[in-house]
Every structure is written in C-alpha cells, then in structure tokens.
C-alpha cells in the first residue's frame, strides 16, 4: 500500500511521509499536452462569461471506434469484498471542488474537477477525456478551472490551464481504465465589476485535496460533482466493482450509486474525508456513468502506481 499524502491547506506545510523507492519524474508513460499559451491567458479567461459557463454541455465519455491494445485490469474485482464503515457527514462543499470548461470540436463542454496538493499550488485533477479527445487525438482548447463554481459564478477566480497530463494507454489506445488527467494552471484572475484582478495561485486561494494510490479497493468513498441545476453536490457510499465495458476498454473500475449522474464526471472520489477540514485523499476520479441493476453508478479507474507516476509528472510531489 502507498502512503497517504497529506491534504494541503492554504497556510500549512506538508507532513512527512515515505516516498516510493522508484523515481517517476522521467517516466515516459505519461503524455504532456499544451492547453493555453501564456500570451492568451487573459483573453481565454475573459472569454468565459457566466452565460457561456451555463451553456456548456457536460463532457460525457466518447469511446474510440476500437480500443487499441486494451491493457490488463488495473485492479482485482474479487478483492473488494464487504466494505466496512459508513459514509462521513458532509457539512458544506470544499472550496477545492469546481468545474473545468473547455472547447472541443468548436463546442463548449464542462466537467467537474478538484484542486489537488502540489508544491507549486497549481494542480487540478479531472477525467482524462475532459483534457484529451481520444477520438480526435488532440488536446482540448481554451481550458479554464473555476473552483467553487456555482450557477455561473466564480467566487475564487478563473484559472487558465497551462498543461495537461494524461496516461498514454488512454491518449494512444483509448483505454478508459486510465481515464485520468492532471492540469497545471496559471495564476488566476477574478472579476471585480467591469475589471479583472489578480487571484494568485490556485492552492493559495482554495488549498488542495491530498492524493493517494495503491489503496485497497474496499473503501467508503465521498464523491463531489454537480447536479442538474449547476450547483455543487456530493454522494457517498461503499465501493463495488463495475462490469467490464469492452466499448471503453474497461476491465475493472470502482463505482457506487450516485444521484449526481453525469454532473459528477471529472469529480474526485475521496477517502478518509474530514467534514470539518473539508479535506481528504483523492483515490479516484469519475470517468463513466453506467446503468446496472436499475441504478445509475459513477465509475472510476483504480488508482495504481501509474496514477502516482502521472501525478508526479504533472508536478505533484511526495514530502520526504
């Protein structure tokens, strides 16, 4: 099992944990894509008006015609078993939770996302298909992250995406067992009447959730995303194995029933969530919304060591 990486808050340092022996920073298995050029940051941010935010469609997963060389399962469905524990109380939404907005094929889309801990305080996590179009084989354009987004409002500013990081089994093969992305963002801008002011670094404004990997599959998760009225919400419950989905190359994902439905796509699955601090450890991301047994499930890839590699390549760091 990996160590849990402590969740960051605006004015705190990192706790000491033991890092894996293998260095991952130079691992070639992740793919970096550019999102917004530094010369167009202000133009990109100002182009996303409240009306445009509201009109964006949720970016549901679109599979390739044929998954290329689907990988082996990233977890063991039989290993989930009975989940112990109950869902934690949630009193208010974390400031880290928000939405990303972007264009794909000339149309505007949105996904849920969260700020995560990183030494540069500039990291966002979402689903891979919200950053890279596996059908068109290209990165999305004009991406921005809006923490605390609520019905068109951006209370903590708007942060343009600098670079996106996805796993090559997803970007090259279209395998949704690896449908995860991290995004580094530029310093934010905040609307002040008719003017825009500097919102500073993302992590300084809203903090960041912790990150972990290689945890047992039997967990009680708290997932955050958005409801049909564009307001943030959550669902929680014990993990269960979803059925293989060959169309998406999925051999094994973890899920549970969730009332948020498509609005949860891109949102985090968090373990050990602390309702007082509104922080926990990200151990999954909503990739798909699937139907089974008369219910709708949100579904996440299992975060193995590859997810840690992706995180560190994007600029995340384990404190030593």
Phi-psi region of 127 (alpha: psi -120 to 50; beta: other; left: phi over 0): beta
Which H, E and C letters describe 68-108, residue by residue? CCCCCCCCCHHHCCCCCCCCCCCCCCCCCEEEEEEEECCEE
| Beta-bridge partners for 171 | none
Report pLDDT for 319: 54
| Beta-bridge partners for 294 | none
Between strands 210-211 and 279-285, the pairing is parallel
Residue 212 to residue 222: CA distance in whole angstroms = 14
Report pLDDT for 2: 52
CB 115, CB 123: distance < 8 Å? yes
Report pLDDT for 25: 42
Report pLDDT for 168: 93
- What is the CB neighbour count within 10 angstroms for residue 86? 10
Report pLDDT for 23: 40
Report pLDDT for 35: 96
Question: What are φ and ψ of residue 247, in 5° steps?
Answer: -60, -30
* pLDDT tens per residue, range 129-158: 999 999 999 999 999 999 999 999 999 999
Question: What are φ and ψ of residue 86, in 5° steps?
Answer: -125, 160
Report pLDDT for 139: 97
What whole-number percentage of the chain has pLDDT above 70? 85
Residue 186 to residue 263: CA distance in whole angstroms = 25
The parts of the chain modelled with pLDDT lower than 70 are: 1-28, 70-85, 318-320
């Amino acid at each position: 099992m990996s160590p849990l990486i402590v969740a960051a808050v605006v004015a705190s340092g990192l706790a000491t944990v033991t890092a894996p022996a293998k260095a991952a920073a130079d691992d070639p298995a992740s793919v970096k894509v550019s999102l917004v050029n530094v010369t167009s940051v202000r133009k990109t941010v100002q182009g996303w008006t409240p009306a445009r935010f509201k009109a964006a469609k949720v970016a549901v997963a679109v599979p390739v015609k044929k998954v290329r060389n689907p990988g082996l399962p990233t977890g063991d469905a039989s290993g989930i078993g009975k989940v112990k524990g109950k869902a934690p109380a949630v009193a208010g939404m974390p400031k880290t939770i928000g939405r990303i907005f972007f264009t794909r094929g000339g149309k505007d889309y949105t996904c849920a996302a969260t700020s995560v801990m990183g030494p540069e305080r500039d990291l966002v996590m979402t689903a891979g298909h919200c950053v890279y179009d596996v059908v068109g084989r290209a990165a999305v354009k004009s991406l921005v992250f809006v923490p605390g987004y609520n019905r068109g409002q951006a209370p903590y500013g708007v942060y343009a995406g600098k670079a996106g990081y996805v796993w090559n089994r997803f970007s090259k093969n279209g395998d949704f067992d690896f449908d995860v992305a991290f995004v580094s963002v530029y310093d934010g801008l905040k609307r002040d009447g008719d003017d825009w002011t500097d919102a500073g670094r993302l992590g300084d404004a809203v903090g960041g959730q912790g990150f972990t990997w290689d945890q047992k599959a039997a967990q009680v998760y708290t997932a955050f995303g958005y409801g049909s009225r564009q307001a943030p919400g959550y669902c929680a419950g014990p993990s269960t194995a979803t059925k293989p989905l060959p169309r998406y190359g999925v051999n094994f994902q973890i899920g549970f029933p969730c009332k948020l439905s498509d609005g949860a796509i891109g949102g985090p699955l968090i373990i050990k969530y602390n309702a007082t601090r509104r922080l926990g450890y990200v151990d999954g991301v909503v990739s798909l919304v699937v139907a089974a047994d008369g219910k709708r499930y949100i579904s996440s890839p299992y975060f193995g060591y590859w997810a840690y590699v992706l995180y560190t390549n994007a600029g995340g760091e384990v404190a030593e």
